[in-house]
Amino acid sequence: MLTRIDHIGIACFDLDRTVEFYRATYGFEVFHSEVNEEQGVREAMLKINETSDGGASYLQLLEPIREDSAVGKWLAKNGEGVHHIAFGTPDVDADADAIRKKDVRVLYDEPRKGSMGSRITFLHPKDCHGVLTELVTSAPPADPEH
Ligand code: CMX
Ligand code: CO
């Protein structure tokens, strides 16, 4: 079951300048940043609020590290802007399977690695009224005994 807006993915040419815009304009700070080689992006997660399902909502600022990545190609065609939305779920495998049965193309056979150890998959924008849609299950909280 999809229980929150996990994040909005925003494509930008210069991650550091875009982070600075969000800090200076709204006061949002970087909660986490990483490079996701598989997705071809350098990214910053800005935490906006916690959500009633125990998760949180973020802005995900994305700068391509390769021109032929999904974000690199999209930026070349469209310029900067909102690239995708992501819904959070406790069980991305189950939700992806259920949505696949509704004749919506799920882009990956199995979820892949997303921000902060999450597992993610995507739905084809052409099957979602023009919106590239991500499903995400956060990593479980770290075990305090280890
Ligand atoms: N939002 C809406 N429509 C989009 C889109 C987007 N982000 N990206 C592509 N499209 C549309 C294009 O406009 C195009 O439509 P037209 O045929 O009408 O022009 C069509 O989809 C095909 O687009 P394309 O430019 O030929 O691109 P591809 O088919 O090569 O790739 C997609 C599109 C969705 C399969 C690819 O972007 C993808 O695999 N995305 C998932 C992975 C991803 O986005 N990773 C980055 C984020 C990582 C993260 O969130 O952690
Ligand atoms: Co995302």
ipTM: 0.99
DSSP conformational letter for 77: H
Domain assignment present for 142: no
Count, in order, helices (H) and strands (E) of the chain.
Answer: 3, 8
| Ligand approaching nearest to the C-alpha of 40 | 1
Structural domain count of the chain: 1
Residue 92 falls inside a structural domain? yes
The H or E element containing residue 122 is strand 119-123
Provide the token pair at 127.
């099957």
In a domain, 57, yes or no: yes
Are 124 and 107 spatial neighbours (Cβ–Cβ below 8 Å)?
Answer: yes
CB atoms within 10 A of CB 96: 25
Please state the rounded mean pLDDT for residues 127-144. Answer: 94
Q: Is residue 33 one of the residues assigned to a domain?
A: yes
Residue type, 140: P
- Considering the entire predicted model, what is its pTM? 0.97
Residue 124 lies in domain = 4-137
Straight-line distance from the first to the last Cα atom of the chain, in angstroms, rounded to the nearest whole number: 30
Helix or strand (DSSP H, E) at 78: helix 70-78
Domain for residue 54, yes or no? yes
Residue 85: inside a domain, yes or no?
yes
H helices of the chain, in order, are 15-26, 70-78, 92-100
Question: Residue 45 belongs to a domain with what CATH number?
Answer: 3.10.180.10
Is 144 domain-assigned? no
122 lines ligand 1 (CB under 6 A): yes
Does ligand 1 come within 6 angstroms of the Cβ of 84?
A: yes
Give me ligand 2 centre to Cα 8, in Å. 7
Residue 144 confidence (pLDDT) above 80: no
Q: 29-86 pLDDT, tens per residue?
A: 999 999 999 999 999 999 999 999 999 999 999 999 999 999 999 999 999 999 999 9
Query: What is d(CA 65, CA 129) in angstroms, rounded to the nearest whole number?
Result: 28
Which atom number of ligand 1 is nearest to the Cα of residue 107? 39
The CA dihedral of 134, 140, 141, 145, to the nearest 10 degrees, is -160
Note whether residue 70 is domain-resident: yes
